[in-house]
Structure 1
């Protein structure tokens, strides 16, 4: 079941974000020093900070427990494109459709707000994740190596006319 996450449940989402992103941290050399903004290293107030920037926090709840979560909201530079950010699923129960449900919900919310597409940015070296997003209909826009990051960022987009 998809739910809106209220502030009293932010800590549950933070647990999922920290554990969900921990696998990427281990696989791609991401540390608190080289990428402090990675959700694996977020402080307790980080979820509230993203919501304060205009993003909606929603989650997959299973038997009363949050098992996956994501943020969605309008892009500052292009209001017709919404951003899906920090999607994570508890690693113990991945591959059960929870991630796809979060993407679908993010797309639904963006479309309902009048957006034409949903955008994401991922670690480009994580080809398994990139392939997964492609299977969901996302297209690769570009890959950029930003100064200070130990990975390349792949920007992807899900055009709503394609779904």
Structure 2
């Protein structure tokens, strides 16, 4: 099996939105998120959102297993030293096989290559499993924030590169 992480330059927005949506849907169900109570959650992402990310200049990458996209991650440059990693996704049937680690390590290298010193993320703060996973990857929690339009508290984490 051939595994590749490739920057996304094409406009197959439907494919990437489907990978992100299916990947986040498991957590959305676990926490009872719906399109009505958490419309900005990636479980409900649409192709137009991927298109907007591309138009905004956000770097997006797909993880391909034998030319089939099974994962996705995006990274946005905040300033010369800080980058924000977003939408880290691995389809449920491919989890626990190291693909998420591959994507995160790829982003670490990408950020280093462009002179970044820090990566930030935002997660569902009550998702303890995900939080522990990121802690194992060297992230530490830097704060939390409640937003009126979200049914959960956002946990902010960062990692120095």
TM-score for both structures, normalised by structure 1: 0.91
Quote the residue 1:87 is aligned against: 88
Pick which of 31-40 and 83-92 moved more: 31-40
CA shift for structure 1 position 6 = 2.5
In the alignment, structure 2 segments of 5+ residues that lack a partner are: none
CA shift for structure 1 position 126 = 0.6
Pick which of 106-115 and 126-135 moved more: 106-115
Quote the residue 1:11 is aligned against: 14
User: Alpha-carbon deviations, 1:111-134, whole Å to 9, x = none?
Assistant: 111111111000011100000001
1:156 matches 2:144: no
TM-score for both structures, normalised by structure 2: 0.92
User: Alpha-carbon deviations, 1:5-47, whole Å to 9, x = none?
Assistant: 2324332221111100101110112111222111221222211
**Could you tell me whether the CA contact under 8 Å between 2:11 and 2:51 is conserved in 1?**
no
Cα distance in 1 for partners of 2:67, 2:14 equals: 14
1:127 matches 2:128: yes
Once superposed, what is the RMSD of the aligned Cα atoms? Answer: 1.2
